[in-house]
Structure formats: C-alpha cells, structure tokens
C-alpha cells in the first residue's frame, strides 16, 4: 500500500509540477519499473519500459536529481531510441525519441536497472 501511495505521489508531482526531465520509481524508494517524464511536449508515464532499438551516439551533458551534489558530466547517449512500455491502464505502446529525448529515456531506464549517470565513463 505504501508503495502504491508513493507511486501515485510521483505521478501527481509531475502532473502539478513543471520539471522538463524525469523521475523513476527507484529514485523515491519504490521498487517498481515505472518512470514519469516530460517528452515531446507531454507528460509520459512509462510502466515496464524496455529499450528495443538504439542508433547513433551523441555527447549529452547530464545531471541527476538523485545526486544533487555531483557535477554534471558529459556521457555518450544514443541519438535514436525505440522503446516499448505500458501506460497506467495496461495498454502497450511504442515510443520513438531522438537526441535529448532519447538520452532522457536511456537515463531513466538506467535508473530502473540500478545504473546512475556517474557509472558511465565521461566522454570528454
């Protein structure tokens, strides 16, 4: 029950807030494969997201809400990402993103896999 309340609080935070990035459930102590992020001009709730295709690379300057005292780092991310996910109603979707949106999806998916941006080697 507590996990459900935390998950709802995370979704409600983004619905009311204006953060342009994302937040994954593990960042707030919820062991769920769920990410909420601002993508392509709208709020997306991604349940069980899986990256199924990546293409190209670019240098992305990153930071993380989980590590507010760490400096930003430049790491390589994919220029193109295709991802499968479920919405909150259980419907299956595919999402295609490029450049910074693709980097955001990789960053948030990393959180779900226990990886932080500081675990990547800096590309500069």
| Residues with catalytic function | 108
Helical segments of the chain, H only: 2-16, 99-112
DSSP state, 17?
Answer: S
Neighbour count for residue 101 (Cβ, 10 Å)? 18
């Amino acid at each position: 029950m507590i996990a459900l309340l935390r998950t709802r609080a995370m979704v409600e935070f983004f619905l009311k807030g204006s953060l342009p990035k994302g937040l994954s459930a593990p960042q707030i102590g919820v062991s769920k494969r769920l990410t909420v992020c601002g993508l392509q001009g709208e709020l997306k709730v991604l349940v069980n997201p899986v990256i199924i295709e990546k293409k190209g690379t670019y240098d992305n300057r990153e930071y993380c809400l989980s590590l507010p005292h760490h400096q930003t780092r430049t790491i390589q991310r994919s220029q193109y990402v295709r991802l499968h996910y479920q919405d909150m109603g259980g419907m299956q979707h595919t999402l295609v993103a490029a450049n910074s949106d693709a980097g955001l999806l990789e960053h948030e998916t990393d959180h779900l896999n226990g990886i932080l941006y500081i675990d990547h080697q800096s590309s500069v």
